[in-house]
A and B are shown apart, each in its own frame.
Chain A
Amino acid sequence: MADKKKPNSADDRPQETDRQFLERYSIGTLMKDVLGKIVSNRPKDPITFLSDYFDSLEDQSNLVLKARNIIEMTHHSRPVFEMNVRQAYDIMLKQKVGKRLYGVNGTSYTDLIKTLCRDMPQPVTTKLLKKIECLDYEAITFDVFKSGVFTCCVLQDYVKLCEMLFNSLDFQSSGKVDKILSDVVNEQLKAALANTRTDARKIVEAGYNLGPDGLFYALERGMRSKSQLGGQTLEQFTIEICDAFLSKVKRLR
């Protein structure tokens, strides 16, 4: 990789002053750090990454926000995600929870979950928290932390898929989906996920039910029923579809 070149300033003051200034604020280290993060996380848009990074750096006070930004630097399927979660946990360990006591307690853990889920409908977040929440005063181990964060990230993907599904079902682009279609899709999803056995035949069946053929027949049956149940907005649709996901989330206790 090319060396980081510090550009020559055109002023007539001695070079020391610029260098001293940069050293005083550790700009060199800062730039090396952020460049390293860009290279390992490979964000889709490095420029936005850079502005978000410096933005969160500025806001030193909120540890939960800093942790969240680090967790969201890359997709959860990337190997570097695990390191980022570890780093986020280390940051949150600095939170003061009592007299001379620092660590991650239920309150900050819940805050982190809530902010990771900020783009989801409120009922979804509430239901999720019911499954994975911890009491305010409890100390959160890294395993619990990691599993909770991971669930949120996967749920983020799931919600995005819900939106894509909503847009395909909304073939008139009206902003609403026929409740009948939504119910049919929900039924198919729940039926496919209802199996807890890893029986090969059941898996193939589930795949068929969710594939183009199975879905087509189910949707056609639904359209033929002619009952009028009204339309659903994206938010209502997401809330219902997320039920299938949340039913699979293991309760913490």
Chain B
Amino acid sequence: MASDDRFSMTTEKYLARHQVLVYMEDAVAQLLEHREENSKINPIKFLCEYFNSVRDGNHTMFREYSYIHATPHNRASFVRLFWKCYRQIGKKGDLLSIQEYHSLLSLLCSDFPFEPVQKTAKIILLDDALDCLISFSDFIYAFQVQFYFEEFIEKSHEMYQSLHQTQRSPRDPVVVPSGSDDTKVHQNSHHPGDGVDATQYFRAIYPLCDRSNFSTPPVNVLKEILFNIPRVSFYGFLMAIAKSERINEHIGRLPSKAELLEGADADLTV
């Protein structure tokens, strides 16, 4: 497309595509922050080191959540940082709870919220029993997808729900609330044999991939996932994305599953 050529697109679009202003503003903010600690600072050198670390993906450690969340590059770099710091857990084969994974994340980012971790668990456990223990390998690929494609996942969930509504069968149980307070009905929103028509779902979410200002998975991978099965459940769909090696390569920060635990040793090397 002509407008995709970086020379013919508008200035705003070009700058937005690479989030140039985000990084330049953050660079100045960081410069001012570091000035307080070190009065003999050389601004040019600092700026050079700042952009070097952004370029190399080493810029997210101990930064606040809003910065880590701000750009796709930051999110992907943070996932990679998590992998480098904690891969020996994978090697030891320990299974951890989501609270423990959240604590690990908080060590690298003090204000990291719990919600993304919860959503990650939903993907792995297919929306059931959230106090299961999870392996490192399962966690990191699901977390990568949840964090990197956060907005896409939200939007596709909305589409899934609206599609599902139109297909609701009249034989579904209708819960009539009784007078007493202690009736608890477990609404299991995961219907294994149910879901929606896969091709229809693809047609619903495919427009998201064209004009979005958030990251989306490549369309051909979505086709791969959705064209080979007649029906799909939402969390089955997300799990397929999380397990997809092609999506992992598309993001390009984590090694493949076979090589995930290589290079991990007892010392914490980053």
Contact = CB atoms under 8 A, between A and B. Distances in A.
Q: A interface, how many residues as a size bin?
A: 20 to 34
A7 B14 CA distance: 23
Interface string A1-33: 110011101010000001001100101000100
Contacts of A31: 24, 28
A35 B11 CA distance: 11
Interface in B20-45: 20-21, 23-25, 28-29, 31-33, 35-36, 43-45
A51 B6 contact: no
A11 B35 CA distance: 12
A47 B48 contact: no
Interface of B: 6-7, 11-12, 14-15, 18, 20-21, 23-25, 28-29, 31-33, 35-36, 43-45, 47-48, 51-52, 54-55
Contacts of A55: 48, 52
Contact of B11 (A22, A25, A39, A46): A39
A27 B43 contact: yes
B127 to A, nearest CB: 38
Q: Which 6 A-B pairs have the closest CB atoms?
A: A54-B48, A51-B51, A7-B29, A50-B51, A51-B52, A54-B47
Given A7-B32, A27-B43, A38 B48 contact: no
Contacts of A22: 28, 32
Q: Is the interface of B mostly helix, strand, loop or mixed?
A: helix
B18 A47 contact: yes
A42 B7 CA distance: 6
Contacts of B18: 45-47
A22 B28 CA distance: 9
A42 B21 contact: no
A199 interface: no
A48 B20 CA distance: 11
